Amino acid sequence: MAECIDSILAQRTSFRILVTVVNDGSTDQTFSVLQRYADCPEICIIQQENKGFSGARNAALKHIRASYIMFVDADDKLPEDAVESLMCSALRTDADIVEGGYSRFVGERTTFTFRHSESFTRDWSILYGFPVGKVYKSWLFEDVVFPLGYWFEDTICIYLLYPRCKAVATIKDVVYLYRQNEQGITFTSRGNIKTLDALWVTRRLLADSKRMGIPATQALYDMLLLDLSVNLTRFVTLDDMVHQDAFMVSAALLQEYFPRYRTENIRLRPLEQAFLHYDYGAYRLYGKCYLGV
């Protein structure tokens, strides 16, 4: 955690940074580490019982004191010019979200780097799905709560945040350094029944989207199809009867929230047809042919 906080405090930027750190019921040395920063005027430390990623983010969102916010997970770091690059673009374009590239690393070795091209657009589908690596106008989080107790809560971005944007921007700079963790959910969830959280989160967020008055659009429909294709790769190692049940719930969600929409994305059409006809065999064939699972 100290490496993460230090990378934020070391930002080379003309913008003022306020850091809200949530100690989410840690049982290691986190509390002792945070005491080093107790007298730092730029840092607000919140202590709470363990509530997971969602609970930590929700706690921090109650203490918003700025026009723009960003998320940084405790294992990760920011390059020294991340805030300056993101905020200069945000003020220049007035975009609701500005997103940059990211790198994954293990120790001192970079294992992968993704870079955007420079863009300013209404097409929010160009943004990647997780909450880090970007700045948001803080108003986007009014009435937004991360779902508690679920894996894959990051899906909140594509259902509740991105569709409310009038415009988004991307920059070519790498603005986030993601520590590759082979003990994380991505690597350890295979075959775990809790991967079904991905579906329950989607269902919850679609209901929240409707409650908040976010309109059904073609972009949101296509994103739901893409989200359900990712879920296929997560569920494929579960018991086949469980996977079939998840497929039926997914098909019902499409019919309930987007009954009149059809995709123009050729790659997603076979998946769409499988859902429309409740054809589990075609759905599994799509997984083999298009997703390799």
Q: What is the DSSP string of 6-63?
A: HHHHT---SS---EEEEEES--SSHHHHHHTTTT-TTEEEEEE---HHHHHHHHHHTT
The pLDDT of residue 102 is 97
Element (H, E) at 284: helix 280-286
| Per-10-residue mean pLDDT, the chain, length 293 | 92 94 80 85 87 86 90 94 98 98 94 96 93 96 87 90 96 96 62 92 94 94 96 94 97 96 96 98 96 92
Compute the distance between CA of residue 90 and CA of residue 135 in angstroms, rounded to an integer.
Answer: 8
Put simply, whether the predicted model's pTM sits higher than 0.85 gets the answer: yes
Position 182 scores a pLDDT of 64
Quick one: pLDDT at residue 274? Answer: 98
Cα–Cα distance for residue pair 227/231, rounded to 1 Å: 6
pLDDT of residue 284: 97
